[in-house]
């Protein structure tokens, strides 16, 4: 797997986790700040009030005590001294003022200036005679509280208490500390809890991300394992279903592709496709053979490997014009020349632009040749039929015109008409035989046949004919040779060949028939010492109606179909037929037949091939 995959997924989800945790923290800090914003002033106010109350309480207690002493007759200066001694800490000042708010003359505290507001408030009987101000003597901010001394409901003086304001600050400091600790602990708890929640929340997302990553890297069987019925659970379920669908679709696509590949590659027609840029997209086996390419050429520019091949021209034209095109072209020259039919179709996705072209090339050489042969056959047959028919018609008309009156002429003409009719019948028989062979209407009746016996039979049957022509006909002695063949058909081949040999050999010549085994084949040869066949005619000698000397062959009742029939029969048996000939010296026609299985000597055997 790509090492980048899981890492990037992890990074993504780690940042998601961090963001989730951070948002938890932010939330916690925000709420703590908001709470503090309301709580701190309230707490400060509360603490300040409590502190002021405490100082005021001290003042009231001192006043209660000192008013008692005053009633016993102590002077203000004496009271002030007692008050000074009541201070429980050094920086605390406790002093006494008269009913006008003035200190006794003995007081250490300055008497000038206006009456302080707390003293004035205490004299008035206000509920909270407290004040905070700068003390010019002690150079300090201080808290002042005053309480009246009473006698029979009248204010007889005031006790003033003052403490440094710093002390109050110390008290407040503890509040601040507690708050700070709460803030830090709260944030810490929020961070820990947030991280834990974030991990739990992000784990399924992380699992999904990992699965998606694996799928994107080709592991289509990867699924996200996510429990839970929340949105992420739903998402994971949908994701997994999507994965299944993807897998199915891809499998179907692959299957389809395999099918198409199999079809295209097994096609005997060559299939070549190029993309819009002229690169080879596809070459099936037939195309590789036809164009002399191999599979490595796929993906390369077609122009480089095909140069100016007709296939390339066809593909380029189709891409350029965006329409189907068809043409025929030849490859090779002379006997090697092959004719090909090319049809090309543009490739386009839907109604989009042309993105390439595919060409199918078919070898139509044999098709065209067969068409030509069929045309020739029709022409030949008509021609062959016309000659005897013309002859019959001519003689009949002559007879009807009055020649019948002369018995001698009548007999001669009728004999000719009979011969021509026989020729017609032979021709029709041969044509029928040939067409039955070609259409395989009459299947071969295979059986085990002694080929040597068959040859001897044919020779003895044709002996009278050979004798009539003063030709010596002989079968060379042969061992028993077994073939699996249709005996009647092979007899027909033998008869055709031997009849030809007798026919084209002048009196005094010889015709020899020999049978032998050669490897896995039996070979039959019919040799004569006749006039031979010109080399130019040899290649076409087995064609239908082909005769070296038309008139002589016809004279002898030949149809020109004998060798064609022989060739057909031999090839239907899986054999070959051939001819060697030297003009004026004679010809050798030979054909092979596969030996019956039991006859084939084992490979590498030194035993002679014949028995
Ligand atoms: N043994 C042979 N020697 C010389 N020419 C032959 C021989 N066999 C066949 N041919 C030539 O081949 C031609 C075709 O033979 P075939 O197909 O049997 O037709 P047909 O015998 O009716 O003429 C003959 O017309 C003849 O010219
Ligand atoms: Mg013949």
pLDDT per residue as tens digits for the range 525-534: 999 999 999 9
Nearest ligand by distance to the CA of 534: 1
What residue owns the CA closest to ligand 1's atom 21? 558
Contact status, residue 103 vs residue 109, Cβ threshold 8 Å? yes
Residue bearing the bigger pLDDT, 392 or 235: 392
Give the integer Cα–Cα distance in Å for 48 and 291: 105
- 522 CA to centre of ligand 1 in angstroms: 23
Instruction: State the pLDDT at residue 483.
Output: 94
Read off the pLDDT band of 290 (50, 70, 90).
confident
Nearest ligand by distance to the CA of 587: 1
Question: For 504-605, where are the E strands, in sequence order?
Answer: 510-518, 521-528, 577-582, 586-594
Give the tens place of pLDDT for each residue, 74-84. Answer: 888 888 888 88
- 384 CA to centre of ligand 2 in angstroms: 15
Closest CA to 222 of 203, 209, 204, 205: 209
Give the integer Cα–Cα distance in Å for 519 and 513: 20
- 516 CA to centre of ligand 2 in angstroms: 24
Question: For 136-183, where are the E strands, in sequence order?
Answer: 140-151, 154-164
Instruction: Flag whether pLDDT at 538 surpasses 50.
Output: yes
Give the integer Cα–Cα distance in Å for 9 and 2: 12
**Ligand 1 atom closest to residue 550's alpha carbon, by position in its atom list:** 25
- The residue-averaged pLDDT of 191-211 equals 84
**Ligand 1 atom closest to residue 589's alpha carbon, by position in its atom list:** 1
Cα radius of gyration rounded to whole Å, the chain: 65
Instruction: State the pLDDT at residue 592.
Output: 96
Give the binding-site residues of ligand 1, using a 6 Å CB cut-off.
Answer: 496, 500-501, 504, 528, 530-533, 541, 546-549, 553, 558-563, 587
Give the integer Cα–Cα distance in Å for 434 and 185: 111
Mutate to test the pocket of ligand 1, among 388, 532, 544, 547 (most ligand atoms within 8 A of CB): 547
The percent of residues above 90 in pLDDT, for the chain, comes to 38
Q: In the 8-state DSSP scheme, what is residue 377? A: H
- The residue-averaged pLDDT of 570-584 equals 94
Instruction: Flag whether pLDDT at 227 surpasses 70.
Output: yes
What is the overall mean pLDDT for the chain?
87
Among 159-163, 262-266, 458-462, 604-608, top mean pLDDT goes to 458-462
Instruction: Flag whether pLDDT at 190 surpasses 60.
Output: yes
- What are the structure tokens assigned to 181, written together? 């600790």
Closest CA to 149 of 174, 131, 120, 123: 123
Overall pTM surpassing 0.75 (yes/no)? no
What residue owns the CA closest to ligand 1's atom 22? 558
Lowest-confidence range among 141-150, 193-202, 374-383, 393-402?
Answer: 193-202
Instruction: Flag whether pLDDT at 328 surpasses 70.
Output: yes
Contact status, residue 395 vs residue 409, Cβ threshold 8 Å? no
**Ligand 1 atom closest to residue 563's alpha carbon, by position in its atom list:** 17
**Ligand 1 atom closest to residue 565's alpha carbon, by position in its atom list:** 17
Among 7-21, 283-297, 411-425, top mean pLDDT goes to 411-425
Closest CA to 163 of 110, 223, 93, 237: 93
CA dihedral of 319, 320, 324, 326, whole degrees rounded to 10: -100
- 454 CA to centre of ligand 2 in angstroms: 19
Give the tens place of pLDDT for each residue, 353-367. Answer: 888 999 999 999 999
Instruction: Flag whether pLDDT at 610 surpasses 50.
Output: no
- 251 CA to centre of ligand 2 in angstroms: 65
Instruction: State the pLDDT at residue 3.
Output: 43
Read off the pLDDT band of 12 (50, 70, 90).
low
Of how many residues is the chain composed? 611
Give the tens place of pLDDT for each residue, 556-568. Answer: 677 889 999 999 9
Mutate to test the pocket of ligand 1, among 469, 500, 540, 562 (most ligand atoms within 8 A of CB): 500
Instruction: Flag whether pLDDT at 609 surpasses 70.
Output: no
Read off the pLDDT band of 305 (50, 70, 90).
confident
Give the tens place of pLDDT for each residue, 230-286. Answer: 888 888 888 889 889 988 999 999 999 999 888 988 888 999 999 988 899 888 988
Of the CA atoms within 13 Å of residue 431, those in its CB half-sphere come to: 15
Give the integer Cα–Cα distance in Å for 148 and 216: 89
- 563 CA to centre of ligand 1 in angstroms: 7
Instruction: State the pLDDT at residue 607.
Output: 43
Alpha helices (H) in 267-406, listed in sequence order: 285-291, 302-306, 310-321, 365-400
Nearest ligand by distance to the CA of 434: 1
Give the integer Cα–Cα distance in Å for 560 and 578: 17
Of the CA atoms within 13 Å of residue 465, those in its CB half-sphere come to: 17
Mutate to test the pocket of ligand 1, among 422, 502, 504 (most ligand atoms within 8 A of CB): 504
Instruction: State the pLDDT at residue 452.
Output: 94
């Amino acid at each position: 797997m790509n090492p980048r995959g899981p890492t990037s997924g992890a990074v993504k989800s780690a940042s998601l986790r961090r963001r989730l945790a951070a948002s938890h923290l932010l939330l916690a800090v925000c709420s703590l700040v908001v709470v503090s914003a309301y709580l701190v002033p309230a707490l400060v106010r509360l603490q300040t009030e409590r502190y002021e109350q405490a100082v005021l309480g001290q003042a009231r207690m001192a006043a209660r005590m000192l008013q008692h002493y005053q009633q016993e007759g102590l002077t203000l200066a004496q009271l002030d001294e007692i008050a000074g001694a009541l201070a429980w800490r050094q920086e605390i000042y406790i002093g006494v003022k008269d009913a006008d708010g003035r200190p006794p003359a003995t007081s250490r505290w300055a008497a000038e200036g206006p009456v302080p507001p707390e003293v004035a408030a205490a004299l008035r009987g206000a509920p909270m005679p407290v004040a905070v101000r700068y003390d010019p003597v002690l150079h300090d901010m201080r808290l002042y509280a005053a309480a009246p001394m009473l006698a029979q409901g009248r204010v007889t003086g005031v006790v003033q208490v003052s403490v440094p304001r710093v002390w109050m600050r110390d008290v407040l400091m503890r509040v601040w500390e507690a708050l700070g600790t709460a803030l830090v602990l709260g944030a810490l708890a929020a961070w820990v809890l947030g991280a834990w929640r974030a991990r739990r929340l992000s784990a399924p997302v992380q699992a999904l991300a990992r699965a998606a990553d694996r799928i994107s890297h080709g592991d289509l069987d990867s699924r996200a394992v996510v429990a839970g019925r929340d949105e992420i659970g739903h998402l994971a379920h949908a994701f997994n279903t999507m994965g299944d669908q993807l897998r199915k679709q891809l499998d179907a696509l692959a299957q389809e592709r395999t099918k198409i590949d199999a079809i295209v590659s097994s096609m005997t027609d060559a299939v070549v496709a190029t993309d819009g840029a002229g690169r080879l997209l596809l070459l099936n086996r037939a195309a590789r053979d036809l164009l002399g390419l191999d599979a490595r050429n796929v993906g390369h520019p077609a122009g480089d490997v095909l140069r100016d091949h007709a296939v390339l021209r066809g593909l380029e034209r189709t891409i350029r014009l965006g329409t189907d095109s068809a043409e025929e072209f030849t490859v090779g020259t002379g006997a090697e020349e092959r004719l090909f039919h090319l049809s090309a179709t543009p490739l386009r996705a839907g109604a989009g632009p042309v993105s390439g072209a595919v060409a199918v090339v078919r070898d139509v050489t044999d098709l065209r040749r067969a068409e030509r042969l069929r045309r020739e056959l029709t022409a030949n047959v008509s021609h062959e039929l016309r000659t005897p028919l013309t002859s019959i018609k001519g003689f009949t008309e002559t007879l009807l015109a009055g020649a019948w009156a002369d018995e001698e002429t009548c007999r001669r003409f009728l004999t000719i008409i009979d011969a021509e009719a026989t020729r017609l019948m032979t021709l029709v028989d041969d044509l029928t035989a040939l067409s039955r062979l070609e259409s395989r209407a009459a299947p071969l009746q295979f059986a085990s046949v002694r080929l040597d016996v068959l040859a001897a039979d044919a020779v003895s049957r044709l002996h009278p004919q050979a004798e009539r022509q003063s030709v010596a006909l002989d079968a060379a002695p042969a061992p028993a040779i077994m073939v699996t063949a249709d005996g009647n058909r092979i007899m027909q081949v033998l008869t055709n060949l031997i009849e030809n040999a007798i026919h084209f050999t002048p009196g005094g010549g010889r015709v020899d028939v020999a049978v032998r085994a050669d490897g896995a084949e039996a070979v039959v040869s019919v040799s004569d010492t006749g006039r031979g066949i010109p080399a130019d005619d040899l290649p076409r000698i087995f064609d239908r109606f082909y005769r070296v000397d038309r008139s002589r062959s016809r004279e002898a009742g030949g149809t020109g179909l004998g060798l064609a029939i022989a060739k057909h029969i031999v090839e239907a048996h899986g054999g070959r037929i051939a001819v060697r000939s030297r003009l004026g010296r004679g010809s050798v026609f030979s054909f092979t037949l596969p030996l019956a299985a039991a006859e084939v000597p084992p490979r590498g055997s030194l035993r002679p091939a014949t028995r």
